[in-house]
Amino acid sequence: MEINYLNEHIDELRELVTVLPNNPGVYQFFDTSGKIIYVGKAKNLKRRVASYFNREPDNGKTRVLVKRIRDIRHIVVDSEEDALLLENNLIKKYQPRYNVLLKDDKSFPWIVIRNEPYPRVYQTRQLIKDGSQYFGPYTNVMLVRSLIDLFRHLYPIRTCRLNLIQDNITQGKFKRCLEFHIGNCKAPCEGLQTEQEYLEYIVDIRNILKGNIGSVIRYLKERMLKLADEYKFEEAENIKQRLNLLSGFQSKSTIVNPKIDNVDVFSIISDDKSAYVNFLKVLNGAIIQAHTIELKKKLNETDSELLSLSITEIRERLQSSSREIIVPFIPEVPLQNVEFVIPKIGDKKKLLELSERNVKYYRLEKLKQDANRQNTPRHIRLLENVKADLRLKQLPVHIECFDNSNFQGSFPVAACVVFKNGIPSKRDYRHFNIKTVEGPDDFASMEEVVERRYRRLMDEGSPLPQLIVIDGGKGQLGSAVKALNRLNLSDRIAIIGIAKKLEEIFRPGDPIPLYLDKNSQTLKLIQNLRNEAHRFGITFHRQKRSKAAYESILEKIEGIGPKSIEDLMREFKSINGIKSASVDDLHKVVGSKRANSLIEFFKKAGD
């Protein structure tokens, strides 16, 4: 039948289709502004693109897309797999309006064994081609931190960035640091540990990262028994503690079947608006990675199309090269050197079922979250995030933040700002003059104002906050905690400190700071509190300095005392206001004699 829904450029577009090749490739649709609005792949470019114009699409979104097409371009490739890879890269680069929207664009962390003498082992999100060995990427940041922590408990590996080449060590350029004295490092910087001994640790760490935990455990057991036979019980006990840590880590891994090695598992579930794809990575019989992504549908894409796109995306991002992929159905695009398996029975079938359960639970959780967002006020959602991120017992509806200000030890003041329901409550802001502390002592000043603030609230019977934020690190936080302890409030009010340099969050009794994501709404709220307290405190501090400067000038005038200064500043607000006041106005405030003294003083000062 005749197509009557297309735009006026239909003939031009059909002419473009006639010259397309019958090869695999990628096609791009452009709108009137020359912007890419859709990228697609095809086993046969000519046939696939022609299908948009030969009949009216069933899907309304596709009809809208076709109406907006003004130009078509294509790229020929060698195979369907190449077309899939190229399509994926172009979608990520241009993010066309009518393509599937991948809802997960974060980067994943790696663990790197640095290519250097006495290699360091640490977390990174950047891959640098310098010969270092990278493991991952990991979809769980907490797992990465746990592994790094495990390695540092198991092995005394260095954390410093010193260039430990032999010449530098021989020449005595370095000195042992605190890490040596607390037993976390054996000071290879001073030659107290050989590189051969250090590299034995790295071999173990590399095996653990490769999933060969069993071989490391066997080696450590043999070494422990040998040391015990040689009556080196202290060294044997150290290795026993390492074995306990490793066994605990191994027990947390989901063991499937030792015979299943280097296998990827994918499953998919979808509805009218979205699709969800789960990925499991099995290595040496254990699941070592799990990740689920959400894709927003744009043109009623099929599960087969979406699964193909997801497999390509996830394997690329997580650097998977498994040659066996377990799937619920065969995707529409084959991959070179990869076998797709649809298991019917056995452990592989159980793996697929586990992946399907994961993706179903993920979808249900997302739907619950979306429903809760619609029914929950925005400020409550924000405060619930704060409560979860900071591990609070109560919802922090009422938060107070303190900041100190002084100028070279002079005019010490403090500020307290109050946020209720996540927004400033300016009528509750308070300034404090430091009364009991001499000199620039931020710790003592913080202790004083926190105690004054909450002693007064308790005396008045006023509501206490659920959370206190201290602008400062461990020192200021510790001082504030002392004040709360004296008031018996430490169990009733949560308190944290924020250090500006690295935006570290400190909590009482926890030596390890909490690092929140820089885009976290919780961190942004804490930063707003800190910045508002700083602004409010600085404003008060400047007012005090200005007032002191005014008073020092007026005190030089004969007959002008504290009472006259107070009356003048109340009436004229500033020195300039006093200078520009008429004689009659001055007379009314301080009398004729003092008014004449003021006029004479400013006249001489002007000369």
Q: Which CATH number fits domain 555-606: 1.10.150.120, 1.20.1530.20, 3.60.15.10, 1.10.150.20?
A: 1.10.150.20
The 3-state DSSP class for residue 252 equals coil
User: What letter represents residue 87's amino acid?
Assistant: E
Classify each residue of 78-108 as buried b or exposed e, where b means 16 or more C-beta atoms within 10 Å of its C-beta.
Answer: eebbbbbbbbbebbeeeebebbbbbeeeeeb
Class of domain 10-99: alpha beta
Return the CATH number of the domain spanning residue range 263-372: 3.30.420
Instruction: Answer yes or no: are the C-beta atoms of 300 and 335 closer than 8 Å.
Output: no
Instruction: Bin 157: left if φ > 0, else alpha if -120 < ψ < 50, else beta.
Output: beta
> Does the pTM exceed 0.95?
no
Q: Say how far apart CA 87 and CA 74 lie, in whole Å.
A: 11
pLDDT at 373: 64
Label residue 436 exposed, middle or buried (CB < 10 Å: 0-12, 13-18, 19+). exposed
Q: How confident is the model over 201-229, as pLDDT tens digits?
A: 898 888 878 766 666 777 778 888 888 88
Instruction: Answer yes or no: are the C-beta atoms of 484 and 454 closer than 8 Å.
Output: yes
pLDDT at 159 over 80: yes
Please measure the distance between the N-terminal and C-terminal CA atoms of the chain and give it in whole angstroms.
Answer: 98
The pair phi, psi for residue 466, each rounded to 5°, is: -90, -20
Q: How confident is the model over 454-480, as pLDDT tens digits?
A: 999 999 889 999 999 998 888 889 999
Return the CATH number of the domain spanning residue range 387-543: 3.30.420.340
Q: How confident is the model over 47-67, as pLDDT tens digits?
A: 888 888 877 766 677 888 888
pLDDT at 375: 67
Which position has the higher pLDDT, 575 or 238?
A: 238
Domain spans in the chain, listed from the N-terminal domain onward = 10-99, 110-255, 263-372, 387-543, 555-606
* Fold equal for 263-372 and 387-543: yes
Instruction: Answer yes or no: are the C-beta atoms of 451 and 485 closer than 8 Å.
Output: no
Q: Say how far apart CA 416 and CA 403 lie, in whole Å.
A: 7
